[in-house]
Amino acid sequence: MGQQVFFIGKQALRTYIHFVSPKKENKEARRDSAHPDFWRKNRATIQASVIFVLAITLFFGVLISHILDRYLVYPYTALVAHTSSAILDLVGYDTTVRGTILKSVGTSLNIGTGCNGLEALIIFVSAILAFPAKLNSKLAGLLLGFIGIFIINQTRVIGLYLVSRYASQHLDLAHTYIGQTYVIISGVALWILWAERVFRDGKKTLTPAA
């Protein structure tokens, strides 16, 4: 998971710099890097990076502390399981849910913290908070992220169920590598779409750097 956090953080920072930071020639950029007020000129970028790191540290700290398991994590994971079960039933699979376990004859899939989409949502929310946009744009981004990542994660859970049912020998590969990578990359794509929309709306949408 650490590599995935680093990946989305790097992509978010690159996109932020592309949209917000002024374009400079290479020679000028090298001069600025040695200039005494380099940090002042890059304050907005540094501030965004710090906010992203602090937010993601706080949210993941709360998640791994398990203090919200009963009130947030477990109910949300159960919702993911029931939604997946309803979709699978619509296409002809007879599934049941017990807690966070999705079951059918010969197949059982436990949806844990790593499969409920909360980790991807935390990364997305942290990137939204770090980006210097107005409040209404951030709220729209948070709504986009919640709905988008929930839908994306449902496709992952359903995919894992099908792998478990028809090719269980590949479940570990599908869960650990393919599924996680798919959700993280999709989350990055959603964030970039939101950031591009904010940028297209004009510089007035962006909070000016102090």
- Domain segments of the chain as ranges: 2-205
Q: Residue 11 has what pLDDT?
A: 58
Q: Quote the CA–CA distance of 18 and 8 in Å, as a whole number.
A: 15
Burial class of residue 77, CB neighbours in 10 A (0-12, 13-18, 19+): buried
> 3-class SS at 188?
helix
Q: Quote the CA–CA distance of 125 and 145 in Å, as a whole number.
A: 7
Instruction: Give the bridge partners for 206, in sequence order.
Output: 133
Q: Quote the CA–CA distance of 28 and 17 in Å, as a whole number.
A: 16
- The one-digit pLDDT tens for each residue of the chain (210 residues) are 555 555 555 555 566 555 555 444 444 445 554 555 777 777 878 888 899 999 999 999 999 999 999 999 999 999 999 999 999 999 999 999 999 999 999 899 999 888 999 999 999 999 999 998 899 999 999 999 999 999 999 999 999 999 999 999 999 999 989 999 999 899 999 999 999 988 887 655 445 443
Q: Residue 21 has what pLDDT?
A: 53
Q: Count CB neighbours of 204 within 10 A.
A: 7
Burial class of residue 172, CB neighbours in 10 A (0-12, 13-18, 19+): exposed
Locate 150 and state its tokens: 């929930």
Q: Quote the CA–CA distance of 42 and 65 in Å, as a whole number.
A: 35
Q: Quote the CA–CA distance of 160 and 183 in Å, as a whole number.
A: 13
Q: Quote the CA–CA distance of 60 and 117 in Å, as a whole number.
A: 13
Closest CA to 148 of 205, 189, 209, 199: 189
Q: Residue 14 has what pLDDT?
A: 62
Single-letter code of the amino acid located at 206:
L
Q: Residue 204 has what pLDDT?
A: 53
Q: Residue 79 has what pLDDT?
A: 96
Q: Residue 22 has what pLDDT?
A: 47
